A and B are shown apart, each in its own frame.
Chain A
Amino acid sequence: MNDNYEYILKTEHVSKKFGDLEVLKDINLSVKKGEVICIIGPSGAGKSTFLRSLNQLEKITSGKIFVRDELFLHRENDHTVDKLPREKQQQLLLEMGMVFQRFNLFPHKTVLQNVCEAPIVVKKEKKEEVVARAKELLERVGLSDKADAYPSRLSGGQQQRVAIARALAMNPEIMLFDEPTSALDPELVGDVLQVMKELARSGMTMLVVTHEMGFAREVADRVLFMADGIIAEEGTPEEIFTNPKAERTQNFLSAILDA
């Protein structure tokens, strides 16, 4: 695989329509390895849709997506113009771990089985190695004592930390977080953010859609403010939070921070 790349992930003119509704309009983003990018903005701005179209949970209407500088997918008007061969695509998709708002753990499998499932089934790794790594990951997210519990026995915060461990078990290069704390009770948010901060410090490339401004401010290298399907403003946390230029950003931040 190509290891000499400039951007681990890049989009050019990505747009997405649901029928007549244009959710994403001409999104351009370049992500370097090790960057932590937080995407903030009002609901309905297209943040989740953008994140989900990066790992193909949504098909973009038009635009180009590059992974490791290779043209991963190019679509125009809902037709695929160019793409990598299926197997190559599949291989690159494994480099993207995803954490969902609603956890989406497999309820019929224990915590340990949840974490081990994909490496064993998809990557055909040896079971003993995967289990050992899974146990380390569970320890890292502070849940080694829950390995044999079913997800329904865990709190939301614990479930989300298992979901993070599950994504990390595939050894991804980049982690996508889709509002990871939005479905949690307020007192459970801290533990999850703690795990994410630790992950950011360890050098993981992260794309985080979030409403946790404190987290964005502390951890992000760059903050994107999205509204109405466009990136309305982009900058360091300093620039966005203390000195926002766009009026939409100012309104949004004052509404959130005053609340």
Chain B
Amino acid sequence: MNDFSLKKYPKQIITAAVILLIVVVLAILKPGEQELLSRTSPEMQKLIEADQHSSRKRVTVTYNSLLVINYASLSTSGAKEMSEKYVGFLGNVYPADEGPAKIAGQMVNYTYRMLGVKENLMHGAKLTILLTTLTVVFGILLGTLLALGKISKRKILSKLSGAYIFFFRGTPLLIQMFVVYFTVPGIFGFAWRDLFNASDAEAVYKGAFLAALIAFSLNSGAYCAEIVRSAIQSIDKGQFEASKALGMNYAQTMSRIIIPQSIRRMIPNVSNEFIMILKDASLVFAISLMDITTISKNIMTSEGSYLVFIPALVIYLVITAFFGFIFDKIEKKFSVYE
């Protein structure tokens, strides 16, 4: 049952171990924050020194640390403007004024911001992952109900589910989100942010997130319904007959025999749906949620850095790969009986 053995995956295991080792060594060799800041020019050192005894800070320090590489940017405001940037990598500190060190420094800084390392769940990759995961969970629950409705012998249920699926698959998710975010509160006279504590500075974001989650879940439900329906209908008719012959009713047959067997067959499609939602989640930029896409667009606009989209793509790819791996594991776990 446990097929994760050295014999079967020697190459993969050795590669993973080597990569891990390299990462660990690089992370250990990485210069620390103090080391980076101590490399500044004498003038900057004086200003930092002065700041320690003054309540008016003149130096703004930005420090980003990403596993094997880190980046510090120091800038001053006021009469004498100064700006210094440093990149720490492999035991060395490089001034990031030009060339590879500059690009590396920018990449670290952008990635750091898009991941939302120091921010709460309403920012960057955390927001994207949270929205995607919750959407898939609610989508599957809703999709299961819709699928049972669709295959139901009751005409009304079947027609209603069919209409729901037709509507949500036949219209753009972006507009569905606009409807939930703008139209619904417009009609019913409320504002999404008012659902949260007014003193909460993040109330706007939380309100928008809730609206996005509702729109995404309603949309995903329609797609998951088709996934669940096709999985249920792929189960051998003999399973229904055996259950019936043993006296089980419809609910017992579905919940104990058919759906547990369908789950394994759904996993590859759910994995697909997950990746689709992950990418669709970038649409939340349209209601100004601070996800990876919005942050990259903001960096592009405010700092004129056209390179920012490259780390953005890499972040999406890493998230996709990670969850693809997780879904693979889940599928194996559910396959023990085959």
Q: Which of A98-156 contact B (CB under 8 A)?
A: 98, 100, 102-109, 117-118, 121-123, 150-152
Task: Indicate whether A80 reaches chain B with its CB closer than 8 angstroms.
Answer: no
Known: A108-B261, A122-B252, A150-B337. A57 touches B246 (CB 8 A): no
Q: How far is the CA of A123 from the CA of B248 in the complex (A)?
A: 9
- Is there contact, CB below 8 Å, between A117 and B246? yes
Q: Which of A47-72 contact B (CB under 8 A)?
A: 55-57
Listed residue (B247, B260, B338) with the most chain A CB atoms within 10 angstroms of its CB: B247
* Residues from chain A with Cβ under 8 Å of B241 in the complex: 57, 98, 100, 104
Task: Indicate whether A232 reaches chain B with its CB closer than 8 angstroms.
Answer: no
Task: Indicate whether B242 reaches chain A with its CB closer than 8 angstroms.
Answer: yes
Q: How far is the CA of A167 from the CA of B244 in the complex (A)?
A: 12
Task: Indicate whether A224 reaches chain B with its CB closer than 8 angstroms.
Answer: no
Q: Which of B217-265 contact A (CB under 8 A)?
A: 236, 238-239, 241-242, 244-248, 252, 256-257, 260-261
Out of B236, B242, B247, B260, which one reaches A122, CB within 8 Å? B247
* Residues from chain A with Cβ under 8 Å of B245 in the complex: 55, 57, 96-98, 100, 167
Out of B239, B242, B246, B338, which one reaches A152, CB within 8 Å? B338
Interface residues in A, total, Cβ within 8 A? 29
* Residues from chain B with Cβ under 8 Å of A103 in the complex: 238
- Is there contact, CB below 8 Å, between A104 and B238? yes
Smallest Cβ-Cβ distance to B261: which chain A residue: A108
- Is there contact, CB below 8 Å, between A166 and B337? no
> Chain A's interface: helix, strand, loop or mixed, by majority?
loop
> Chain B's interface: helix, strand, loop or mixed, by majority?
helix
> Would you give the 0/1 interface string for A87-101, flagging 1 where the beta carbon is closer than 8 Å to chain B?
000100110111010
- Is there contact, CB below 8 Å, between A107 and B246? no
Smallest Cβ-Cβ distance to A98: which chain B residue: B245
- Is there contact, CB below 8 Å, between B238 and A102? yes
Out of A56, A151, A166, which one reaches B246, CB within 8 Å? A166
Distance from B23 Cβ to chain A, minimum over Cβ atoms (Å): 40
Distance from B251 Cβ to chain A, minimum over Cβ atoms (Å): 10
Out of B236, B247, B260, which one reaches A170, CB within 8 Å? B247
- Is there contact, CB below 8 Å, between A118 and B248? yes
Question: B residues within 8 Å of A by Cβ?
Answer: 236, 238-239, 241-242, 244-248, 252, 256-257, 260-261, 336-338
Question: What would 5 more interface pairs be, CB under 8 Å, given A104-B242, A106-B257, A170-B247?
Answer: A103-B238, A117-B246, A121-B248, A152-B337, A166-B246
